[in-house]
């Protein structure tokens, strides 16, 4: 009796092993690593795509843009992901030609906690820069007050909050400040971590938002998606064309549409301070980084199939998750770029 | 320690008796050839284990030095004394981080040590046994709370409380002192010190408790027999006996405090500056590594963070050695005092 049971179990185990092995043979595993910001959307894409094409499996590690760049350069992954375009030096360090494939856009909003101030406080972009430079120090400064008639702003020092961890959000925000203030460009510059002239550092979106929430008369910056989910007050900014623009998915997409005329073929362009009536000034692409010449034929083919699907069907999943989809004209350009991938 | 010659001689005598008995028994049990090979293997294994620790540390140091060579070459000692940290211009100086780590840890220990030793004395010497056990268990429970929980509590509960209640009070009443200057931000050096204090208390308390329990009952009885009150008994017989053990507990607490990353990052404000004021935000070495390492894409930035790790190791070592020297000095003084 005991023997029979044991035989049966052995047989089952054997069957299970062969079944798994058989499946693994037909399955393509595609590894990726990089940016944390688009991770919720990417994981949605991967799980939706698995329903259509179950033979492809994605494994994405959201280790940060810096880590993604390092890993794709070292060729330990099939694709990288980054919130910032690679520098010329970084591109030169890669062993092959790396393509930037923009997937969606994100925006950064300026949030604040000012007792008595309404939602959508109006701030000129130059004023945001001077607040972060420590040159505008009080909320009732005439430069802020003049844009907000009828609002009683307190005679209180502005408490500036920024990200303490290295982050693509900081890179986009400082890129924006560099564009609006030559003093910022000269004194601070742009990067994932910078030397802040003033302010407190909070870790992550939640750290900055928490600090702003609990500190009266404070100002900070967080990702649009995070601000919307947590219903944080967002400042309305006056863009370079002179229009007041509220942060939203539409105004973020409008920033890319404004940039189309001078879009370089490798998409390495900053989307901050783009012209246009509706263009929100603090926006940026997030990219997938893929070698133009794929080493593995099968992986390359599957990857291109996925990219085409993402560009067609995937884009529609972006807005519900609070990412801005690519505008039509950019989508067409990206479609052509995907065709240049060889495998 | 051997202040009572009578007691010492009794101990020695009884020790001797036991010794002879156990040695004879051991000889009877062991066959010589098996004993030798067993000893040899045992010795070999312990030596191997001990050396593996040394090897791990050596490999760590070598690897860290190797990784931080770019900044060591470029900045030399000015990396340690420099105050500017600018990843964009690639100019790095670690002094504000060293300052933040050392000051926050030492202040936390200054607050935590009396509290912990007091708790341990209460649990072992004063409280009824059952009640003491409950207190000890609760304190040890604190040690198992993950640091991110402390951090969340710190940033959501403690920091607002500091900002709205404690810091305005300090500014109003002690604002003339340089230690309490500035605006109340909540997140600050003070918040980090408090969080660290709460985190190291369970470690120091539970080890001190074990140390005090190991003090021989005869020490206490002797002190009381000489007419000491309970407080005098604790001060003169119990604490001196456990001195080196308690210092060991404090050093372990320091290890936790200076290496603590998450909770401190969440409440210290992450601003690399050197300020005497406890109310101003600061930055620590583990925090900057945790904050910036993931996105440090330039080679020099990564090397700078690696060198911070190296400095952290060195600072811990220096404080450790200083504490040992302090203890050594204390024991020698104590011995001389006893001889008089």
- What is the model's pLDDT at position A245? 94
- The answer to whether ipTM exceeds 0.90 is no
List the strands of the sheet with A79-82, edge to edge: A56-61, A28-34, A79-82, A283-291, A98-113, A218-223, A159-163, A200-202
Is residue A309's pLDDT more than 70?
Answer: yes
Q: Is the pLDDT of residue A21 over 60?
A: no
Q: Which segment of A6-20, A181-195, A235-249 scores lowest on mean pLDDT?
A: A6-20
CB A324 within 8 A of CB A104: yes
On chain B, the residues whose CB falls within 8 A of the CB of A67 are 294-295
Residues from chain B that touch A215, judged by Cβ atoms under 8 A, are 163, 185-186
pLDDT at A23 over 50: no
User: Is the CB of A65 less than 8 angstroms away from the CB of B269?
Assistant: no
Share of chain A above pLDDT 70, in %: 92
d(CA A310, CA A333): 14
Q: What residues of B are in contact with residue A82 (Cβ under 8 Å)?
A: none
b/e code B198-235 from CB counts within 10 Å (16+ = b): bbbbbbbbbbbbebbeebeeebbebbeeeebeeeebbe
SS3 content of chain B, % helix, strand, coil (to 5): 80, 0, 20
- CB interface of B with A, residues 43-102, below 8 Å: 84-89
Q: What is the mean pLDDT of residues B214-228?
A: 91
pLDDT digits (tens, 9 = 90+) for A193-225: 999 999 999 988 888 998 898 888 999 999 998
Please check whether residue B156 touches A, CB under 8 A: yes
Beta strands per DSSP E along chain A: 28-34, 56-61, 79-82, 98-113, 122-124, 159-163, 200-202, 218-223, 236-238, 244-245, 283-291
Confidence of residue B40 (pLDDT cuts 50, 70, 90): confident
Provide, rounded to the nearest whole percent, the portion of chain A with pLDDT above 90: 60
pLDDT computed for residue A9 by the predictor: 55
C-beta atoms of A193 and B291 within 8 A: yes
Phi-psi region of A81 (alpha: psi -120 to 50; beta: other; left: phi over 0): beta
Chain B closest CA to A44's CA: distance in Å?
24
Contact A215 B185 (CB under 8 A): yes
> What mean pLDDT is reported for chain A?
88
Mean pLDDT, rounded, for A132-147: 93
Q: Average pLDDT, stretch A143-167? A: 91
Q: What is the pLDDT of residue B1?
A: 40
Which residues of A sit within 8 Å Cβ distance of B? 63-67, 69-70, 90, 157, 159, 164-168, 188-196, 199-203, 207, 210-211, 214-215
Query: How high is the pLDDT of residue B144?
Result: 87
pLDDT band at residue A261 using 50, 70 and 90 as cut-offs: confident
Is the CB of A201 less than 8 angstroms away from the CB of B185? Answer: no
Is the CB of B265 inside 8 Å of chain A's CB atoms?
A: yes
Which has more confidence, B222 or A2? B222
> Region B180-191: what's the mean pLDDT?
88
Q: How far apart are CA A61 and CA A71, in angstroms?
A: 11
CA-based nearest distance A135→chain B, Å: 18
What's residue B333's pLDDT? Answer: 64
From the CB of residue A236, how many other CB atoms can be counted at a distance below 10 Å?
18
Q: Where are the alpha helices (DSSP H) in B76-156?
A: 78-81, 95-121, 129-143, 147-153
The per-residue pLDDT for B155 is 87
Question: Alpha-carbon dihedral of residues B58, B64, B66, B67, nearest 10 degrees?
Answer: 160
Q: What is the pTM of this model?
A: 0.81
**Which residues from chain A sit within 8 angstroms of residue B159, using beta carbons?**
214
For residue B122, the 8-state DSSP code is I
The 10s digit of each residue's pLDDT in B142-154 is 888 998 899 989 9
Instruction: Using the predicted structure, report yes or no on whether residue A2 has a pLDDT greater than 80.
Output: no
In angstroms, rounded to a whole number, what is the distance separating the alpha carbons of residues A245 and A253? 13
Shortest CB distance from A188 goes to which of B88, B185, B186? B88
Task: Give residue B12's pLDDT.
Answer: 43
Condensed to tens digits (0 to 9), the pLDDT of residues B325-338 reads: 887 877 776 555 44
Nearest-Cα distance to chain A for B111, in Å, is: 26
The top-scoring range by mean pLDDT among A23-32, B32-41, B226-235 is B226-235
- Please report residues of A whose CB lies closer than 8 A to that of B89: 189, 195
pLDDT digits (tens, 9 = 90+) for B4-27: 444 444 444 444 444 455 556 655
Cα(B53)–Cα(B55) distance, integer angstroms: 5
């Amino acid at each position: 009796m005991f023997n029979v049971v044991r035989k049966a179990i052995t047989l089952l185990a054997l069957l299970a092993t062969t079944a798994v092995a058989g499946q693994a043979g037909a399955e393509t595993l595609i590894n990726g690593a990089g940016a944390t910001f688009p991770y919720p959307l990417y994981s949605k894409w991967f799980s939706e795509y698995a329903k259509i094409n179950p033979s492809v499996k994605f494994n994405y590690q959201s280790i940060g843009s810096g880590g993604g760049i390092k890993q794709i350069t070292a060729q330990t992954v099939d694709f990288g992901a980054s919130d910032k375009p690679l520098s010329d030096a970084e591109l030169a360090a890669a062993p092959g030609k790396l393509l930037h494939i923009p997937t969606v856009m994100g925006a950064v909003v300026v949030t604040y906690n000012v007792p008595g101030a309404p939602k959508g406080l109006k701030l000129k972009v130059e004023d945001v820069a001077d607040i972060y430079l420590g040159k505008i120090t009080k909320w009732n400064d005439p430069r802020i007050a003049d844009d907000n008639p009828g609002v009683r702003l307190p005679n209180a020092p502005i408490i500036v909050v920024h990200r303490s961890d290295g982050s693509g959000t900081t890179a986009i925000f400082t890129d924006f400040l560099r564009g609006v203030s030559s003093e910022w460009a000269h004194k601070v510059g742009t990067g994932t971590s910078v030397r802040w002239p003033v302010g407190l550092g909070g870790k992550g979106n939640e750290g900055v938002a928490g600090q702003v929430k609990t500190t009266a008369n404070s100002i900070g910056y967080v990702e649009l998606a995070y601000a919307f989910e947590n219903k944080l007050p967002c400042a309305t900014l006056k863009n370079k064309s002179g229009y007041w623009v509220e942060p939203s998915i539409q105004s973020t997409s409008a920033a890319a549409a404004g940039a189309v005329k001078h879009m370089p073929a490798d998409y390495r362009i900053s989307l901050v301070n783009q012209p246009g009536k509706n263009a929100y000034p603090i926006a940026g692409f997030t990219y997938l980084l893929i070698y133009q010449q794929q080493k593995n034929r099968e992986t390359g083919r599957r990857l291109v199939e996925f990219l085409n699907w993402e560009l067609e069907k995937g884009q529609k999943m972006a807005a519900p998750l609070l990412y801005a989809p690519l505008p039509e004209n950019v989508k067409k350009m990206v479609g052509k770029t995907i065709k240049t991938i060889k495998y | 320690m051997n202040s009572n010659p009578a007691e010492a001689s009794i101990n020695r005598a009884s020790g001797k008796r036991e010794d002879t008995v156990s040695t004879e028994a051991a000889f009877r049990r062991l066959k010589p050839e098996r004993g030798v090979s067993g000893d040899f293997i045992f010795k070999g294994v312990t030596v191997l284990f001990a050396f593996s620790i040394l090897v791990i540390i050596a490999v760590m140091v070598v690897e860290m030095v190797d990784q931080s060579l770019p900044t060591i070459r470029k900045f030399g000692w000015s990396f340690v004394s420099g105050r500017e940290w600018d990843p964009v211009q690639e100019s790095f100086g670690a002094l504000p981080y060293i300052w933040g780590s050392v000051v926050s840890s030492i202040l936390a220990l200054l607050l935590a040590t009396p509290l912990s030793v007091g708790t341990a004395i209460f649990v072992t010497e004063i409280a009824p046994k059952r009640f003491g056990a409950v207190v000890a268990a609760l304190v040890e429970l604190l040690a198992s709370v993950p640091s991110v929980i402390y951090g969340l509590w710190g940033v959501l509960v403690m920091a607002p409380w500091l900002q709205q209640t404690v810091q305005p009070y300090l500014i109003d009443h002690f604002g003339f002192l340089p230690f309490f200057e500035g605006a109340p931000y909540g997140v600050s050096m003070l918040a980090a010190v408090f969080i660290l204090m709460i985190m190291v208390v369970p470690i120091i308390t539970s080890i001190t408790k074990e140390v005090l329990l190991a003090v021989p009952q005869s020490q206490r009885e002797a002190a009381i027999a000489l007419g000491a009150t309970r407080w005098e008994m604790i001060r003169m017989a119990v604490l001196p006996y456990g001195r080196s053990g308690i210092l060991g507990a404090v050093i372990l607490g320091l290890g936790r405090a200076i290496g603590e990353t998450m909770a401190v990052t969440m409440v210290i404000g992450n601003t690399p500056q050197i300020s005497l004021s406890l109310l101003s935000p600061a930055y620590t070495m583990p925090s900057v590594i945790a904050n910036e390492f993931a996105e440090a894409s330039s080679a020099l930035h990564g090397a700078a963070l690696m060198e911070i790790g190296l400095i952290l190791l060195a600072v811990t070592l220096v404080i450790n050695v200083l504490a040992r020297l302090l203890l050594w000095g204390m024991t020698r003084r104590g011995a001389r005092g006893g001889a008089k």
